[in-house]
Structure 1
Amino acid sequence: MARAVIGKEFGPPEAYALGELPAREVAPHEVRVAIRAAGISFVDVLTAQGQYQVKPPLPFCPGSEAAGIVKETGSKVAEFYIGDRVAFSGWGGMFAEEAVVPASSLQTIPAGMNFTEAATFSVSYTTAWHALVDRGKLQSGETLLVLGAGGATGYAAVQVGKHLGARVIASASSKAKRELALAGGADAAVEARADEWREQVRAANNGKGVDIVFDPVGGDATDPAFRSLGWGGRHLVIGFPGGIGSLRTNLPLLKGASLIGVDIRQFGEKEPQRASENRKTIFALAEQGILRPKIAKRYPLDRFREAMEEAVIGQCAGRIVFDLASS
C-alpha cells in the first residue's frame, strides 16, 4: 500500500498524519501513477485547513499537483503507457506515493524537465496563462504589474508576461524574491511593503499607469494596485492570501477599468477543452526552455508538516516540493 498524508478532519499540519491509502482499482479511463514529486502551495495548506472557498470530502489527502511514472493504465487508455513520465493536477490526493487519476489530466513531461520542476509547473503556469491570455487579453507592448512576483503564480506570470511581449514590473516583499523575478525576465522590481510603493510603480513605467495588474495577494495590496492602473486597465484577481480586499466602486468608473476574476479550478471544470489546450501550450513552451519554475526547497514526504508550514510562511524565493524520488 502507498503512503499518503491524510487528515480525518480539517486543520493545521498537526491535524494530519502519514497513513496508507486503501488500494483501489483503475477504471477504464484512469491511470495509476507512482508519484516522484509533488508541489506544495499556500492554497494546498488553506484547503487542508478547511479554509478554502470549496471544502473537499473527508478524510482528505492534500495536494493539487504532482509528477511521476505511469505504472498502470485503464482498459480504454490509449495515449499513455507504463513507464511514461507525466505531470498532472487535481483536487487533492497528491501528497502521496501514488495516485489514480483520469488520463485526461495527464501531460507528458518534456525532455529536460525533471520531476520536481514538472510537479510545480502545471497549476501555476496554466493559471498565469489563463489569466493573462484568456481573461486579461494582454497585448505585446502593454505593461504588466505582478504582485507577489516571487511566489508560485506570480513568478509564472512574470515569465508568461515577458514571453507575450509585455513590459513586466515585479512587486515582491524581499530582496531574494525581487532578484528571482528579475532573473525570470521582469524589467523592473519594486518593494511590496515600501511606503512609496505607488511612486515606485509609476516611476518603473515612465510615469504612466499600468495596463494589467496580476493580483494573487489581495488584502491591503488590492486598492493601491488598482489605483496604479491606467485608462482601460484590467485588474486580475487570482487569490487573496492577504485577505479579501475592498475597493471603492468609483475607481473602475474613473479609470474605465475592469476587475476580473480568475478561477482556474472552475475554468477546468466548465471549459475542459480550452483548459487542455492551455496546458499543452505551456508544456510546449517549457520544452523550448521559455517557461520553467524555480525550485527553492525539497522535502521528503515524512517531513510534510515542516514543508506545509513553510508554504504558509511564504518566505521562500521559489517553489517548495516533496521529492519522493530521493526519499
Structure 2
Amino acid sequence: MSRSESAVVFREIGGPEVLAVEAASPRKVSENDVRINVAAFALNRADLMFIHGEHYTIPVFPSRIGSEAVGTVTEIGENVTTFNIGDRVTSIPFFTTTDGVQGTTAVLPADYLTHAPSELSDAEACSVWMQYLTSYFAFAEVANLGPKDTVLVTAAASSAGLGAIEIARALGAKVVATTRSETKRSLLLEAGANEVALVGTDDLGEVINRTTDGKGVRVAFDPVGGESLGTYVDHLAPNAVIFGYGTLSDLQPVIPMAAMCRTQSVFHPYSMFNHVGRADERQRGVDFILERISSGALRPRVDRVFAFDQVLDAYRYMESNEQSGKIVVEVA
C-alpha cells in the first residue's frame, strides 16, 4: 500500500477497533476544492462521537474521518484563488458524511483552509481551530463575553477546555476551571485560570463565590453532561448561559428547571459546527485567533504525538481521557 494513498476509514459503528488504515482512491478535486499532502492531523472528541454513532452527523459507509490537518497544497480547483501549489495550509474543522482529512492526502473545501502560521510546528498548526474556535463562537458570537464576566470551564484540561480558558481571558473575563486531577491544577493556572476547583475535594460553589464576589458565573462551558449542571446551578449570575457541548459522563444533561428559572438562565446545546459554516462568523474567528497566535498570546498545547501506524493507539489514548491538550498523528 502506498503511503500517498492511505486513509483512516471505518465501516461500522463502534470504538477505535472499527478504524483501519486502508488504501484510498483519490477523490476528484472539484472547482472549489484543494488537495493537500497531509503532514499531520489532530484527533477530536467529535471524531470519537462520530465512530460511536453519537454525533449528529450520520456516517455513510465506508467513511473517512477527521477535520483538522496541516499539509502542502498539491492541486487546486479552478475557482480557488487564495492558495497556490506548495502552500503550507491548515484546515478549519468541517464535517461531511464521506470525507475526512485523517490520511496521507485529503481533499477539502478551500473555504475551510487557512495558511498555516509560520510560528507553529506541524503538530501545533493542525491543533489550532477546534481548540480555539469551539469556545470563540460560544463566548464571542453567542454570549458576547466581556471584562465584567466570569466563566466556568468544567473538565478544563482537555484541548477545548484549555482553549476556552485562553479565549475567555483574551476577551477580558475571569475563569474558574475544574479538574479531577491535582496534577493538572498547575496546568490550568498556567493556561490562565483565575481559580481551579478540584472535583470531589473543593467546594465549587465557594470557589465561584470567592472569584465573583458572590455574583456568580455568567457563562458555563460544560462538556460533562449528566448531573454536572446541578453542581453549580445555584451559583449562576442572572441571565447566565450554559453551553453543553458534550457528554463525558455518558449521560444526557439533567436540567434543574426551578433553579434555572430563579436566574432566568438558559441551557444552550452547543456545537461549533453550527457556527463554523457561517462565513462571517468563521472569518471573524479566524482573524481573532490568527492575530493572537502572531502576537504570541495564543499557542495550542499538544499533549502527545503518534506515528501514522499508531493511529488506533492514538484513539485509545483519547478514550482514556488522560490527555492534557491535543493528540496529534504525524504522517511523514
TM-score interval, normalised by the smaller of the two chains: over 0.9
Amino acid at match of 2:252: I
Alignment match, 2:276? 268
Q: Among 116, 126, 134, which residue is 1:119 paired with?
A: 126
SS at match of 1:133: helix
Which aligned pairs between 1:63-142 and structure 2 lie closer than 5 A?
63-88=66-91, 89-91=93-95, 93-142=100-149
Q: Among 232, 243, 257, which residue is 1:236 paired with?
A: 243
Amino acid at match of 1:292: R
Q: Among 232, 236, 258, which residue is 1:250 paired with?
A: 258
Alignment match, 2:300? 293
Q: In structure 1, what is the Cα distance between the partners aligned to 2:184 and 2:42?
A: 19
Which aligned pairs between 1:126-275 and structure 2 lie closer than 5 A?
126-194=133-201, 196-242=203-249, 243-269=251-277, 271-275=278-282
Aligned length: 324
| Cα distance change, pair 54–209 in 1 and its aligned pair in 2 (3 A) | same
1:30 and 2:29 aligned: no
TM-score w.r.t. structure 2 length? 0.92
SS at match of 1:275: helix
Q: In structure 2, what is the Cα distance between the partners aligned to 1:172 and 1:293?
A: 19
| Cα distance change, pair 114–184 in 1 and its aligned pair in 2 (3 A) | same
State whether residues 241 and 267 of structure 2, in contact with CA within 8 Å, keep that contact through their aligned partners in structure 1: yes
State whether residues 260 and 266 of structure 2, in contact with CA within 8 Å, keep that contact through their aligned partners in structure 1: yes
Q: In structure 1, what is the Cα distance between the partners aligned to 2:23 and 2:128?
A: 27
Gaps in structure 1 of 5+ consecutive residues: none
Q: In structure 2, what is the Cα distance between the partners aligned to 1:290 and 1:189?
A: 21
TM-score w.r.t. structure 1 length? 0.93
Gaps in structure 2 of 5+ consecutive residues: none
Amino acid at match of 1:140: P
Q: CA RMSD in A?
A: 1.7
State whether residues 135 and 262 of structure 1, in contact with CA within 8 Å, keep that contact through their aligned partners in structure 2: no
Q: How much does 1:135 deviate?
A: 1.2
Q: In structure 2, what is the Cα distance between the partners aligned to 1:141 and 1:195?
A: 25
Q: How much does 1:87 deviate?
A: 0.9
Amino acid at match of 1:193: G
SS at match of 2:246: coil
Amino acid at match of 2:263: K
Q: In structure 1, what is the Cα distance between the partners aligned to 2:288 and 2:214?
A: 34
Percent identity of paired positions between Structure 1 and Structure 2: 27
Amino acid at match of 2:90: A
State whether residues 136 and 164 of structure 2, in contact with CA within 8 Å, keep that contact through their aligned partners in structure 1: yes
SS at match of 1:93: coil
Q: How much does 1:24 deviate?
A: 2.3
Amino acid at match of 1:278: G
Q: Among 278, 287, 291, which residue is 1:280 paired with?
A: 287
SS at match of 1:17: strand
State whether residues 107 and 280 of structure 1, in contact with CA within 8 Å, keep that contact through their aligned partners in structure 2: no
Q: In structure 2, what is the Cα distance between the partners aligned to 1:227 and 1:84?
A: 51
State whether residues 153 and 177 of structure 2, in contact with CA within 8 Å, keep that contact through their aligned partners in structure 1: yes
Amino acid at match of 2:40: A
Q: How much does 1:130 deviate?
A: 0.3
| Cα distance change, pair 45–169 in 1 and its aligned pair in 2 (3 A) | same
Q: Among 37, 43, 52, which residue is 2:55 paired with?
A: 52
Q: How much does 1:214 deviate?
A: 1.3
Q: In structure 1, what is the Cα distance between the partners aligned to 2:215 and 2:105?
A: 50
| Cα distance change, pair 181–130 in 1 and its aligned pair in 2 (3 A) | same
State whether residues 195 and 207 of structure 2, in contact with CA within 8 Å, keep that contact through their aligned partners in structure 1: no
State whether residues 26 and 74 of structure 1, in contact with CA within 8 Å, keep that contact through their aligned partners in structure 2: yes
1:40 and 2:48 aligned: no
- The runs of at least 4 aligned residues of structure 1 exceeding 4 Å deviation read none
